[in-house]
Amino acid sequence: MKKVLVIGGAGYIGSHVVLELLDQNFEVVVLDNLSTGHKELVPKGVKLYVGDITNYDDLKEVFKTEKVDAVMDFAAKIVVPESVKEPLSYYHNNLEGVRLILEAMVEFGVKHLVFSSTAAVYGEPENGVCQEDDLKIPINPYGESKLAAENLIKWSSKAYDLDYVIFRYFNVAGADSRLRSGLISDKLTHIVPIITESMLGYRGPISVFGFDYPTPDGTCIRDYIHVTDLAIAHIEGLKYLLNGNKSAEINLGSNAGYSVLELVNEANTISKLSYTKGPRREGDPAVLIASNKRAKKLLNWEPTRNLKEIIKSDYEFRKTRKK
Ligand SMILES: NC(=O)c1ccc[n+]([C@@H]2O[C@H](COP(=O)([O-])OP(=O)(O)OC[C@H]3O[C@@H](n4cnc5c(N)ncnc54)[C@H](O)[C@@H]3O)[C@@H](O)[C@H]2O)c1
């Protein structure tokens, strides 16, 4: 049985990956500083090391104690406006943290890394559809810090005996179908949980910004991936490396995306959702989605959970966390 270290495994995406790894009979240990993660999201029986990737001693303790076969890294600071205000702490966490993870992997001879990156590394692609080999011109420190970490991983893979899969994606949403995990945050910034909070009466009507974009219904189109589909893709990436395949950068996208009005209409089939109309927001492109051709080719992966499952699962999870 292969043993996997999931860094950031007490967070939203990492905890869903832990559940999926356990379901697929991997042995799992978690390292997390619980800055935005939650102990309760780490399943019973999984060893949690509370430690920080920017502290080499914390990493060393885990790598020395646990002989892991691979690392999956989800630990990052991820709030774009905050990254503009605090670029130093974003680079420290998202780049220096990854540098130390790589250092520990080299010191302890761990060869495989699955790295959770972001489609924010692409910046503003011309036609709104991101392909893996497109130019990468991030427009904020969050995206820049993740791109710098990606580049460091690539250079390290050339210099040392390690391989990687780097995954890039946009909006991750939804919750585990058995409600064992979901997104927990006091500062929700993503549209799906804002919609479900509004449906549950935890907040007022949502605002929809811009109805005059060149899209079929005039509202922006974005990529939404169910967190369990995403978790499955990460495990396919891990198996890909364990099977001896070569390093790869892979987008995890829906290929088509959904408009904001499609989200609103779908939500209304589950429970009443009201919205107010606002003007366009500066810097919002009409379409922003990621191609998933490479994920299909290399991993035989594509998302299988639709928009209803995304909204409904988040709605059910949020209901359990009544405000
Ligand atoms: N949520 C999205 O829609 C989305 C989209 C694209 C990419 N991503 C990427 O997915 C990854 C996970 O995001 P998430 O949404 O689960 O966020 P999250 O905040 O829920 O999870 C991050 C986890 O990492 C931990 N962590 C942060 N800094 C750490 C450190 N220095 N040492 C140890 N642990 C640390 C946090 O406590 C938390 O448990 C990130 O790398 C992010 O860039 C997320």
Secondary structure (DSSP) of 207-273: EEE-S-SSSTTSS-EE-EEEHHHHHHHHHHHHHHHHTTPPPEEEE---SS-EEHHHHHHHHHTTS--
Distance CA 229, CA 296 (A): 13
Residue with CA nearest ligand 1 atom 7? 118
Phi, psi dihedral angles at 206 (to 5 degrees): -85, 165
Distance CA 178, CA 16 (A): 11
pLDDT score, position 283: 79
Question: What amino acid occupies position 71?
Answer: V
pLDDT score, position 285: 86
Q: Using CA atoms in the order 6, 238, 99, 90, what is the torsion angle rounded to 10 degrees?
A: -60
Determine contact, residues 315/253, Cβ cutoff 8 Å.
Answer: no
Phi, psi dihedral angles at 292 (to 5 degrees): -120, 20
- Catalytic pick among 90, 91, 122, 142: 142
Confidence of residue 323 (pLDDT cuts 50, 70, 90): low
Domains of the chain: 3-172+224-251 (3.40.50.720), 175-223+254-319 (3.90.25.10)
pLDDT score, position 187: 83
Distance CA 78, CA 179 (A): 23
Confidence of residue 71 (pLDDT cuts 50, 70, 90): very high
Supply the angle between the helices 141-159 and 97-108 in degrees, to the nearest 10: 20
Model confidence at 282: pLDDT above 90: no
Mean pLDDT of the chain: 96
142 counts as catalytic: yes
User: Which residues touch 44 (CB under 8 Å, ≥6 apart)?
Assistant: none
pLDDT score, position 242: 98
pLDDT per residue as tens digits for the range 88-108: 999 999 999 999 999 999 999
Q: Which two tokens stand for residue 323?
A: 């405000």
Determine contact, residues 12/42, Cβ cutoff 8 Å.
Answer: no
Determine contact, residues 163/157, Cβ cutoff 8 Å.
Answer: yes
pLDDT above 90 covers what percent of the chain? 93
Q: Report residues whose beta carbon is within 6 angstroms of any ligand 1 atom.
A: 8, 10-14, 32-37, 52-54, 74-76, 78, 93, 97, 116, 118, 146, 169, 171-172
Rounded to two decimals, the pTM is 0.97
Model confidence at 265: pLDDT above 90: yes
Determine contact, residues 224/254, Cβ cutoff 8 Å.
Answer: yes
CB atoms within 10 A of CB 51: 18
pLDDT above 70 covers what percent of the chain? 100
Note the Cα 162 to chain centre separation in Å: 22
The burial class, CB within 10 Å (0-12 / 13-18 / 19+), for 140 is middle
pLDDT per residue as tens digits for the range 298-313: 999 999 999 999 999 9
Distance 272 CA to ligand 1 centre (A): 31
Phi, psi dihedral angles at 56 (to 5 degrees): -60, -35
pLDDT score, position 322: 73
pLDDT per residue as tens digits for the range 177-231: 999 999 998 888 899 999 999 999 999 999 999 999 999 999 999 999 999 999 9
Determine contact, residues 256/289, Cβ cutoff 8 Å.
Answer: yes
- Listed residue (101, 7, 12) closest to 54, CA to CA: 101
Adjacent-strand bridge partners of 127: none
Q: Which two tokens stand for residue 183?
A: 């997104």
Distance 158 CA to ligand 1 centre (A): 26
